[in-house]
Structure 1
Amino acid sequence: MVARDMSRRGLLRTAGAAGAVGAVSALFGTVPAMAEPSVTPFDLHFAVSHKYRPFDLIAPRFVQYDSAVTPLSASSDTLVSTGVRPRAPFGSVLVEVQRAAGVVVAGLAGGGTSVLGTLDATTGRATIEVTVGGATTVVKSAEVRVAGAFRFAVVVNENAVTVLVDTTGTGAGWQPVLTERDGVRALVDLRVPAVLGRLDYSFGGRGDVRLGRVRAGYFGQAGVRDPHVVQHADGRPFIRDGKLYLTMTNAGLGFFQQAHWAVWTIDLADPSRLEQVAVLFFERDGVVLGDHAGQIVYDDRTGRFILAMSSWGDFAFRGVHVRHTTTTANVLQGVHVLPTSRLGLPTAVSSWDPALTRIDGRWHVAFVESEAQQPAFVFHPALAVGPVGADYADSLRMVGADNSVDQTEGTIIQRVGRKWHVFASDGDAREYPVYDLSMRKLGTLDAPYGTNIPHPMLLQVGREWWMITFDGTQYAEPVLGYGGHGDLILMRSPGR
């Protein structure tokens, strides 16, 4: 997830193997058939087959309010409460504006507190305003020119508030016009459950304003990254009804704290059919965060899901670590807010990108070690293993790490043919190194290397091999800054 070209941006650099034979249980669908067992990673030759950009201000399955369903009473000089709210500070309000000779307003409000975006089409001024204890503060404003009908949106990602406009007939789509995080956080912390729990999605107008359809719900994504297949403990991919389940980081409208974690499906018969099916948030240190970049493993022996993720949700250049939790709840559907704890990895430095698989009765945990995040990021892949029969978080010891690289992440554990490997992505060399389970480098994958540090998520589908990854294509970087990447990329290899 860390971009190799951040020095150019002057930001960070300066501050189950799918080859398992047979069928899975009826609950989990069928694993694609295995190709010849003698295949190695170096027999695979990947080429890009699909590239597209998931983008939704509200995730399609996670609309919580729609005035097209619930009749809307038009009013002016009024803030209308929808009566619904998000369980985490990641939500959007989208308003169709039919006429605006006054000010359009949308955001979160309740109990004398509000965080709102406004747009005065007459004066051409948009603002972000926060009200606490009866005092209203405009924390940021910008000039915005609109005419006629348009769409207006206010998005909350963590404590960052962004105002967007879509001018009818231009074909430009949603364009952010201003965003602010620090000014909002100085007045209110939306990550605190007691604060967010009083705030409903709200909208309205001041003066002569006529609104059309209004929708509100959980924020979707400006792009996706860090794909990791949901798998069984032994490495088999989680497939149901012909759909592969995987987690991805949903890029927010801004830096790492504005992203969050979600579960998606890809139709194996048509990989252009991508659908978000779950949203995941995490409680720690008294707040709800969008920690991300990890993996979900279903352990058939215990009937639980194991979730491991990276603590990017409150990243402030003071370290990163791997978090984890287990649950019997179906985290592959719906909205979940889960408490987590720190995973006891055998390292004294920062860590992220966990990957877990039980091999020959022992849990193997690949991850990224990082001894520094400023003035420059330095990071490399590592592998830990537990005792035979122990649980995934118990008594992990270091197997090895590749200290020869310092821009390498995206650790993936995968079996190709008869042998297990650790795969990673080297942003300096622009290649995908392949390691054995002693962390000895064996070579590199034959696959295109795009922008950012694309993770090599390998998966066998029938007699083909797929690599699901991403790139560094940004969204509206001049307004939002770094973090709104990337495009989803699917590569294919015919196997051997």
Structure 2
Amino acid sequence: MTEYDFDRRDVLRALALLGVTGVTAPLFGGTAAASGTSPLDLEFTVEERFRPFDLIAPRFVQVDTAARRGALVKTGVRPKAPYGTVTAEVLDGSAPVVAGLAGDQGSVLGTYDAAAGRAGIEITTPSGTSVVKTAPADLRAPFGFAVVVNENAVTVLADTGAGWRPLLTERDQVRARIDLRDPAVLGKLGYAYGTRGPGRLGRVRAGYFGQAGVRDPHVVQHADGRPYIRHGKLYLTMTNAGLGFFQQAHWAVWTLDLADPAKLEQVATLFFARDGVVLGDHAGQIVRDDEHDRFILLMSSWGDFAFNGVHVRHTVTRADVLSGVHVLPTERLPLPTTVSSWDPALTRIDGRWHIAFVESPAQQPSFVFHPALAAAAPGAGYDRGLTLLGADTSVGQTEGTILQRVGGRWYLFASDGDAREYPVYDLRLRKLGTLNAPYGTNIPHPMLVRVGNRWWLTTFDGTQYAEDVLGYGGHGDFVLMRARREGRE
């Protein structure tokens, strides 16, 4: 891979940073307004690093059963969006094994044929059946077999005892024959599995795809910036990395246990309907607007990214988007910019809605992006009369904007991939300094969380999953840092 390719992909991060202050819970040790701590006084070191990885999100299993015999067993259970997984225990691998999505008029299947020594991806439509891709494979039973659908990408994986590894993946040839993002198409397909011969399967499970890694952490907050906490757990959104590029990722809500900040659990899965399809738009924020008894959701349009622009979208709902599976219609947010935008961060400051975001004047031949800040008209809704307050056009790889209050003062935080640092701005976009924290791979974005009398910083890195097969996009590790110095009240 050329140096140019590495640089370009390294800056394609739409990572929102996650700031938590102003918490009244005892574990957070008081309110930010009472704190005398400046973010520039804190020094962070890495405490833990781990990798959330689930082919099926634990809370979102839809099928869990002993396999029935048959060449193709259709469960009749289907996902609401094209992000699903089927796994099967292969007890006798002598006959070809299949799994994926199937209906009366078509199917999207991953296959493994031991006699032929190959895995494949097979698409059936009313026009006929096509094997769109194959790869050599030598699997000895017993082994785990899985087929994952992320948007229109289909990936076949196997677990021979050392964890799941992809055998092959394909998107373009699948999309040329079927569009799983179309609700009319997906609605006719359900999870399916089978053996084309006398082979035996054991346990079969199916459900919503989990993640190959996580990124873009952003706290769920109240309109005034207070973090949203239930039963001792902090709620945050993260981008669940898919098995491939940005279109294969989707958005999810997670909880972080305040008694154990390293403990994460996915509690909601979010998808978005626009332009007649269902997508996994991500890299955004959820705000609980208590005054109007609603949730405000903002997200970046990475779900159909094709190097032709990105923009911020939004929606409001009274549904409990912090649990369950949701498909929500969205609209484009009228930001005061004529170029691409992503990484929205919304907070009501002194009675006026402020929104930080990233401006990107170019995505080809390379990405250029910088932080910006806008505000709505005084007394108006968050999406009304937005005017630009400032932007830092001196930087070209800086994203992950968030508005956060520390020590009674509001800041805009971001991450500069060129300088390899976390800049700290005031609300006029004047740079005040940088956070004293390790800067890892990719463009990591800091989430400051106060636990007791200590400050924690949660972020991610660029560690890939099976890049040799899947290409770029299956990152990153979840990284937890802690400040050396105690925060002062």
TM-score class, shorter: over 0.9
Task: Give the residue type in structure 2 aligned to 1:451.
Answer: T
Q: Would the alpha carbon gap of residues 110 and 89 (structure 1) be closer, same or farther in structure 2, given more than 3 Å must change?
A: same
Corresponding residue for residue 43 of structure 1: 41
In structure 2, what is the Cα distance between the partners aligned to 1:199 and 1:353? Answer: 33
**Deviations 1:129-154, CA, capped at 9 Å, x for gaps:** 10011510010000001112111000
Task: Give the residue type in structure 1 aligned to 2:419.
Answer: A
- Which of 392, 406, 431 matches 1:441? 431
Matches within 5 A, 1:361-376: 361-376=351-366
Tell me, yes or no, if the aligned pair for 1:380 and 1:403 is still in contact at 8 Å.
Answer: yes
Corresponding residue for residue 30 of structure 2: 33
- TM superposition shift of 1:6: 6.8
- TM superposition shift of 1:87: 0.2
Report the more deviating stretch, 34-43 or 198-207. Answer: 34-43
For the residue of structure 1 that corresponds to 2:292, the secondary structure is coil
In structure 1, what is the Cα distance between the partners aligned to 2:441 and 2:92? Answer: 42
For the residue of structure 1 that corresponds to 2:256, the secondary structure is strand
- Asked whether 1:139 is paired with 2:139, we answer no
For the residue of structure 1 that corresponds to 2:291, the secondary structure is coil
- Which of 74, 83, 87 matches 2:69? 74
- TM superposition shift of 1:19: 3.3
User: What TM-score comes out, normalization by structure 1 length?
Assistant: 0.94
**Deviations 1:408-457, CA, capped at 9 Å, x for gaps:** 00111100101100000000000000000111110100000000001122
Corresponding residue for residue 177 of structure 1: 167
For the residue of structure 1 that corresponds to 2:388, the secondary structure is strand
In structure 1, what is the Cα distance between the partners aligned to 2:386 and 2:98? Answer: 52
- Which of 203, 208, 212 matches 1:213? 203
- TM superposition shift of 1:49: 1.4
Q: Would the alpha carbon gap of residues 10 and 393 (structure 1) be closer, same or farther in structure 2, given more than 3 Å must change?
A: closer
Q: Would the alpha carbon gap of residues 261 and 13 (structure 1) be closer, same or farther in structure 2, given more than 3 Å must change?
A: closer
Matches within 5 A, 1:115-134: 115-133=108-126
- Which of 279, 299, 304 matches 1:314? 304
Tell me, yes or no, if the aligned pair for 1:12 and 1:376 is still in contact at 8 Å.
Answer: no
Tell me, yes or no, if the aligned pair for 1:17 and 1:416 is still in contact at 8 Å.
Answer: no
- Asked whether 1:267 is paired with 2:257, we answer yes
- TM superposition shift of 1:10: 6.7
- Asked whether 1:284 is paired with 2:281, we answer no
- Structure 2 gap segments, 5+ residues each: 13-17
Matches within 5 A, 1:318-337: 318-337=308-327
**Deviations 1:96-143, CA, capped at 9 Å, x for gaps:** 000011100000010211100000012211110100115100100000
- Asked whether 1:416 is paired with 2:406, we answer yes
For the residue of structure 2 that corresponds to 1:478, the secondary structure is helix
Corresponding residue for residue 487 of structure 2: 495
- Which of 97, 104, 118 matches 1:111? 104
- Asked whether 1:19 is paired with 2:21, we answer yes
- TM superposition shift of 1:34: 3.0
Report the more deviating stretch, 265-274 or 453-462. Answer: 453-462
Corresponding residue for residue 26 of structure 1: none
In structure 1, what is the Cα distance between the partners aligned to 2:204 and 2:304? Answer: 31
In structure 2, what is the Cα distance between the partners aligned to 1:116 and 1:151? Answer: 16
Q: Structure 1 stretches (4+) deviating beyond 6 angstroms?
A: none
- TM superposition shift of 1:30: 8.7
In structure 2, what is the Cα distance between the partners aligned to 1:100 and 1:132? Answer: 27
For the residue of structure 2 that corresponds to 1:145, the secondary structure is coil
Task: Give the residue type in structure 1 aligned to 2:62.
Answer: Q
In structure 2, what is the Cα distance between the partners aligned to 1:457 and 1:270? Answer: 16
Task: Give the residue type in structure 1 aligned to 2:169.
Answer: T
In structure 2, what is the Cα distance between the partners aligned to 1:278 and 1:287? Answer: 20
Tell me, yes or no, if the aligned pair for 1:412 and 1:457 is still in contact at 8 Å.
Answer: no
Tell me, yes or no, if the aligned pair for 1:230 and 1:296 is still in contact at 8 Å.
Answer: yes
Report the more deviating stretch, 126-135 or 253-262. Answer: 126-135
Report the more deviating stretch, 125-134 or 223-232. Answer: 125-134
In structure 2, what is the Cα distance between the partners aligned to 1:404 and 1:229? Answer: 28
Tell me, yes or no, if the aligned pair for 1:12 and 1:375 is still in contact at 8 Å.
Answer: no
Corresponding residue for residue 59 of structure 1: 57
- TM superposition shift of 1:160: 0.1
In structure 2, what is the Cα distance between the partners aligned to 1:377 and 1:18? Answer: 29
Task: Give the residue type in structure 1 aligned to 2:372.
Answer: A
**C-alpha RMSD of the superposition:** 1.7
For the residue of structure 2 that corresponds to 1:331, the secondary structure is coil
Task: Give the residue type in structure 2 aligned to 1:245.
Answer: Y
For the residue of structure 2 that corresponds to 1:301, the secondary structure is helix
Q: Would the alpha carbon gap of residues 471 and 21 (structure 1) be closer, same or farther in structure 2, given more than 3 Å must change?
A: closer
In structure 1, what is the Cα distance between the partners aligned to 2:10 and 2:398? Answer: 15
- Which of 449, 452, 467 matches 2:457? 467
Tell me, yes or no, if the aligned pair for 1:19 and 1:32 is still in contact at 8 Å.
Answer: no
**Deviations 1:19-52, CA, capped at 9 Å, x for gaps:** 32646xxxxx996523652211111111111211
Tell me, yes or no, if the aligned pair for 2:78 and 2:190 is still in contact at 8 Å.
Answer: yes
Report the more deviating stretch, 459-468 or 391-400. Answer: 459-468
Tell me, yes or no, if the aligned pair for 1:265 and 1:275 is still in contact at 8 Å.
Answer: yes
In structure 1, what is the Cα distance between the partners aligned to 2:138 and 2:24? Answer: 60
- Which of 230, 237, 241 matches 1:240? 230
Task: Give the residue type in structure 1 aligned to 2:120.
Answer: T
Corresponding residue for residue 394 of structure 2: 404
For the residue of structure 1 that corresponds to 2:184, the secondary structure is helix
In structure 2, what is the Cα distance between the partners aligned to 1:143 and 1:17? Answer: 47
In structure 2, what is the Cα distance between the partners aligned to 1:215 and 1:483? Answer: 25
Q: Would the alpha carbon gap of residues 38 and 11 (structure 1) be closer, same or farther in structure 2, given more than 3 Å must change?
A: closer
In structure 2, what is the Cα distance between the partners aligned to 1:262 and 1:333? Answer: 9
Q: Would the alpha carbon gap of residues 32 and 329 (structure 1) be closer, same or farther in structure 2, given more than 3 Å must change?
A: farther
Corresponding residue for residue 15 of structure 2: none
- TM superposition shift of 1:17: 6.5
- Which of 79, 91, 94 matches 2:87? 94
Task: Give the residue type in structure 2 aligned to 1:107.
Answer: G
- Percent of aligned positions that are identical: 70
Tell me, yes or no, if the aligned pair for 2:98 and 2:112 is still in contact at 8 Å.
Answer: yes
Task: Give the residue type in structure 1 aligned to 2:22.
Answer: A
For the residue of structure 2 that corresponds to 1:88, the secondary structure is coil
Task: Give the residue type in structure 1 aligned to 2:159.
Answer: D
Corresponding residue for residue 293 of structure 2: 303
In structure 2, what is the Cα distance between the partners aligned to 1:485 and 1:139? Answer: 26
